[in-house]
Each structure stands twice: as C-alpha cells, then as structure tokens.
Chains A and B, each alone.
Chain A
Amino acid sequence: MSEQIEDGEPMLRVENLQKRFRVDDGIVNAITNRLRGDDPSYVHAVDGVSFDLQKGETLGLAGESGCGKTTTGMTLTKLYEPSGGSIRYEGRDITDLEGEDLQAFRRNVQMIFQDPFESLNPKRTIFDTLVEPLKIHDIGNQQKRVARALEFAGLTPPEQFFDQFPHELSGGQRQRVAIARALVLDPDFIVADEPVSMLDVSLRAGVLQLLERMNKEYNLSVVYISHDLSLLRHMCDKLAIMYLGRIVEYGRTEEIIESPKHPYTKALVNAVPVPDPTIKRTRVELAGEVGDAIEVPTGCRFKDRCDEHLGDVCDQVSPPLERKADITGDRLVGCHLFESAEGFDPEAELVKSRSGDGSPVAAESDD
C-alpha cells in the first residue's frame, strides 16, 4: 500500500504476503522430476496479500473456499511460514523469528478454529487444555487465570468445568472453551476462522456476542475469516474480499456491502440471501468457477468470469490493489475498470509488456 488508510503505526502490517505449497508426490517422483528437469509445481494459496490491522480493529477476510483466506490466517499466526513478503508486528518483522522472540510473539497471537468438536483434545480435561499455554510460557497464577478466562467465556462457575472432558460439553460450550483458551494468554490479536459456522443457529449469537465483547472490552484486534458476509458485516470494521490468493477489494465494511465496486465483490454481496421475504435482491449471475491456484492466470485473476472484461488489459496486466480516483472513501480496489489515483497506467504497462520480453506484467500493489 502506498499510504496508510488511517494515521498511526498499525499494530500489524502485512505486505505482499505469499504462501505457496509444493505439490509433493513422494521421493520417487521428486527424483524423476529432477531428472527430467521439471520445476516442481506449487499451489499459490496466498499470492501477494497486503493489509494493516490497527489495535482494537476487526478485519473480515471474505471469499469463496480456495481463495486463500484460511491460509492467510494460518500464516499470520505462524502456523505456516510465509514464502514471501513480510508480516510486521508492532514495527518488527516477524517472518523469520525464532527461539525466544518467536515465543514472545506467540504470547500475543491466538487462533480460534471452526470445528468445536475437533478444536479440543478429547483426552484432556478443560483445565489441562487451558493451562497448557500458561505452562508453555511459564506464567503464574495459573488456576486463577484459567478460572478468569472461563468465566469471561460465560462458563460459570469455572471450577465446575475444570475436570470435565470435551465430550461432556455441548458444541456451544466447547467453542466457548476454545475462546477461553485463546484468551488465557491475554493476546493482542486473534485470528478467528469461521468461529460459528458449525454451531447450531440458536447458539451462534451467544458465541458471537462473546467475540464482540472480547474485542470491545479488551481492545483486542480480531481477524475474522468467513464466507458469510452477513456475519462479517455484523462483526467487522473492515473487510477484505479475496479471490484466488489476492485481495480484490479492501475498505470499511458498510461501504463495501452498500456499494461494492469490484465485479467479484458485487457478485458476492448480491448472492447473499436475506432472511426477509419482502426484500427482493438483484442477482448477478457469475459464469464459470474459481480458477486454478497451481497455474495462476496472467493478468486479472477474475477475467474469465467477469462481465465487464475490458480485453487485453485485463488479460495481460495484473491490476494492483490501489486507491481509485473515481471511488470515494477509504477504499482499495484491484480492478482496471476504475482509474488509478496512484498513477498506475494499465495501458502503458500493456505496451511495456509487449515491447519487452513479452512476459506478462506482474504488477505489485506495494511501493
């Protein structure tokens, strides 16, 4: 990003983050591929993602399955090592942290997962589960802290849950335990990957309220990962719409939902059903399906499904995520339909690529 959306040093700054996975097919294939001189193939799950996260801010990562939102989340929590780009936490690059520095970072970041039935070790009591992070970081007053966290998560009286096993709890209670575990270290930010999508409808709201309280009362930053825009609209200050490993639109939630600009965002927002029979929405039919993350298309990744496709520019020049002159508000959009406010000229890039070595332009959104 060329400039910050808001003033002040962001707590977390992600720049051009990339994560690719090698398509691994065993030692024998690796040898035969090597012999034939083939390059190993990669899945480009996250391919140049940039955003800022302020203290106390909530950001929603939205998109269809396979768009790289979960991989982004897992890279943020250092479950995956990034393949490129940087993650800066409080001004410090954490991509290559090791040893004690890494442990210090780990104290401040936690993750909440989707499946309440899989997120707790079935062989350990609730107390064991909650006390583990404290033991790892050698933090005192363990029992009181655990009790405090459980209480905050609405599991009262906490002592009653200490010796219970996950199978004795309901789905909603388990997800609350998972939240308590995330909170027990008192982190600065949390990545929540579809935190309620597997809960029963009537229990969802309770867990969402808990997450809201966590953010509001303790000034925690949260990255929500979800395909459910209704939910993200409810929970998030900012929204990043992802498509095939990239952010295509980024800005304030209500602005994006009220007036989506990127053709993909439009389709996504309009596809959300509304629980009110009197409201009729305009549906945008989107052709085709999400493309291949192994052989990423040149130019705009959305070009094949786009109604407003402009021709060669879209085919050849990858649109950077940038401010647009014809879009007001704090909004970044990655689409050639709008005029750049940052001086990026796709036509010129197209000419350059033709006169040059003929390879397609890989424009990056950062300076």
Chain B
Amino acid sequence: MSLLEVDDLRVHYETGEGPVKAVDGVSFSIDPGENVGIVGESGCGKTTLADAILGILEENGSVAGGEIRFDGQDITDMSASERRRLMWNEISMIPQSAMNALDPVYTVRDQIVEAIFAHETMSNNEADERVRDLFELVGLDPERADDYPHQFSGGMRQRAMIAMALALEPSLILADEPTTALDVIMQDQILKRISALQDEINSSMMIITHDVSVVAETCDRVVVMYAGKVAEEGPADTIFDRPYHPYTLGLQGAFPNIRKPDQDLVSIPGHPPELIEPPTGCRFVDRCPLATEDCRTSEPPEVRTDDLRTFCHHTDKIDGGFRSRAGDRDAWKETVAAMEIQR
C-alpha cells in the first residue's frame, strides 16, 4: 500500500474576484522509502499541495474536494487533535528558507525539544541526548545547540531544520524548495546530506522545486504540475529521457546544462493561465505548439505510455516530429506564433 495517496485533491483560495483553484484535481501517490519530486513553475500549485498535506493552508484557502490518505486514513477528514498527533511524528517538513523557519526568540535546542515533547514523553536528559545525536547526524557542532537561529549561517540553519525534521523519524518528509535560498556549494552539501539521512531512516520524501536538475539528482519519481493540475508523472529516468507532455519537454529545455553548453535554451511563449477562470480543456493550450481544437474544448485524457501517466491529447504525435524539435527554440516560437495568427 502507498504511504501517501493524494486523490483528486482540490484546493481553493477565496479572493474578492472568486475562488482561485490553485490545486485542481491532483492525484498521485508516494510509496514507502520513495523520493518523489513535484516540479513546476511558481503558481502551479506545488506549494499549495504541500501546505494542504501539512494542514497549514493560508486562512483563505481550503480543501474543496478529494482526499489525502496517509497510511490509508484520510487526513482531510481528521479532527484537529488526531491530525496534530500525526504531524511531525509521521509527516514533517523542511521549509523553503530556514532563514525564517526557526523562531528567532528561542534557541535551536528549545525548538527541536519542543517538537519532540509534543509527541513523545521522555526526560529532559533524553531529549538533550536526542538533540545532540541529531546535530551530529546533520554535521553541526552539538555544542551550538543553545545558540539562537540568528547566530547560525544560512547553511547551518538549513541543517538545523533538517535535524528538526528528522527528530521523530517521520515516515514522510515534505521538502519545499529546500535549497533555493542557498549558494551552490551549500545546496549541494545539503542535498547530499538529506539523501544520505533519508536512506538511513528509510523515510519517503516529497521534494517540491522548480529546479529540474535538483529533481534529476535526488528523485525516483517525478510529478510535473502545470496550472494546478498534473501534466505528467512517472519515474525520473523516463521523464527525463522520453517525456510525452510538451510542457515537460519545454521545462527541460529551459534549463541550461553545465555539461551541454551549446544546447539552445527553450523559452515557452506566453504565460500560465489565471486560475480564477482557467481555460476549459487543456490548461497548457495557449502555449502549446501541438494544440488543436480538441485541446481547447475537452480535458486531456490520461494516457499511459511506458511507465508514464501523461495528460495530453497528443501523446501519439509527440514521438513523430516534435520531440526531436523540442530542443530547438524556434520550433516553439513558430508553432505558437502560427496559432496566434489563426486566432
């Protein structure tokens, strides 16, 4: 059985102009011990997804439909206290910027101990011992546990956050852009540390990022999100090797690769749609070089090819011509320009 199953999840934010459908019918699952990457641009709903799982949505946001099952139990349905018992004990998080993720007025030790005491009964000495172990685990000097967060550098804070996330050996860790705020070298070290520790305690992880290369290096499986929906999902190797969704192709081409300096960078024309009134049919339609009338009128079907789930009308066409041309920036521009003229 999967550890986490997200089933047709819908999350809406109430605004003056109507509900923003930030997550709109997203389904995927995470198996025990598995690393799943959620990739997409800002505004695609990936952070909202994590907030919904953690139960920390903004006050104007709410789960409007679907289920989040953890170990078979629907957590959207749980009472507050039931849910609290689950949090951190089973599902913990590594937030985006450890800069602001630690309470500035308490020492790092206090904050880790607080998480432990919220779920387990133990003596102060035992808790201190645990903090010491955790600090060593993440490569921090245990003597500095009594420092305040501001006395730590950015990298140290992120390590402290990881220590806190592991404090109760959760079975699932949600990492929301865990390294974007850090410099390259620190980013590399943190990612390495996370992978190693996670193997050790055999927990699953959901990594949310816009950085395709981070996902490529750390994840077993990838969910590509676009405008509140899943565009494509499958094993990392296949997604990077033979994706079927044009958006995935575009996203890959948009990243410069240090090993392939001569590759053209792809810029997907246009902008993601507004999520107050998203387009009917496929949400990628206005930017897609393969779009047809069908894409505009009907929702893309789920197509299973190899080991991928792809939501697209044209998975059969992509193998034909476009995949080979997707790395060519003019291919995108021309096709979309042609569509503009038609309209």
Contact = CB atoms under 8 A, between A and B. Distances in A.
A277 B217 contact: yes
Given A200-B42, A234-B256, A275 B213 contact: yes
12 contacts: A200-B43, A201-B212, A206-B269, A230-B213, A234-B261, A271-B188, A275-B213, A275-B240, A278-B237, A278-B241, A283-B192, A289-B153
A277 B237 contact: yes
A205 B267 contact: yes
Contact of A234 (B212, B251, B265): B265
B90 interface: no
A273 B211 contact: yes
Contact of A64 (B184, B251, B267, B287): B184
Given A201-B251, A275-B252, A276-B240, A170 B216 contact: no
A229 B216 CA distance: 17
A363 B190 CA distance: 36
Contacts, number: 126
B258 A206 contact: no
A365 B211 CA distance: 38
How extensive is the interface on chain A, given as a class? 35 or more
A208 interface: yes
Given A209-B329, A271-B188, A227 B183 contact: yes
Given A230-B255, A273-B191, 6 more contacts: A65-B183, A202-B287, A204-B267, A271-B189, A274-B216, A276-B259
B250 interface: yes
Contacts of A366: none
A74 interface: no
Contacts of B267: 202-209
A271 B271 contact: no
Interface in A143-181: 170, 172
B193 to A, nearest CB: 10
B266 interface: yes
A280 to B, nearest CB: 9
A277 B189 contact: no
Contact of B258 (A230, A277, A283, A285): A230
Contacts of B255: 201, 230, 275
A205 B192 contact: no
A330 interface: no
Contacts of B41: 200-202
Interface string B138-157: 00000000000000010110
B303 interface: no
Given A64-B183, A209-B267, A274 B42 contact: no
A233 interface: yes
Nearest to A269: B258
Contact of B185 (A170, A203, A268, A277): A268
Interface string A191-203: 0000000001111
Contact of A202 (B216, B251, B256): B251
B268 interface: yes
Q: Which of B156, B184, B241, B269 has the largest count of A CB atoms less than 10 A from its CB?
A: B184
B256 A231 contact: yes
Contacts of A267: 185
Contacts of A229: 184, 258
Contacts of A65: 183
Nearest to A264: B185
Given A202-B250, A205-B329, A275 B188 contact: no
A302 B287 CA distance: 47
Q: Which of A200, A209, A268 has the largest count of B CB atoms less than 10 A from its CB?
A: A200
Contacts of A268: 184-185
Contact of A205 (B153, B186, B211, B254): B254
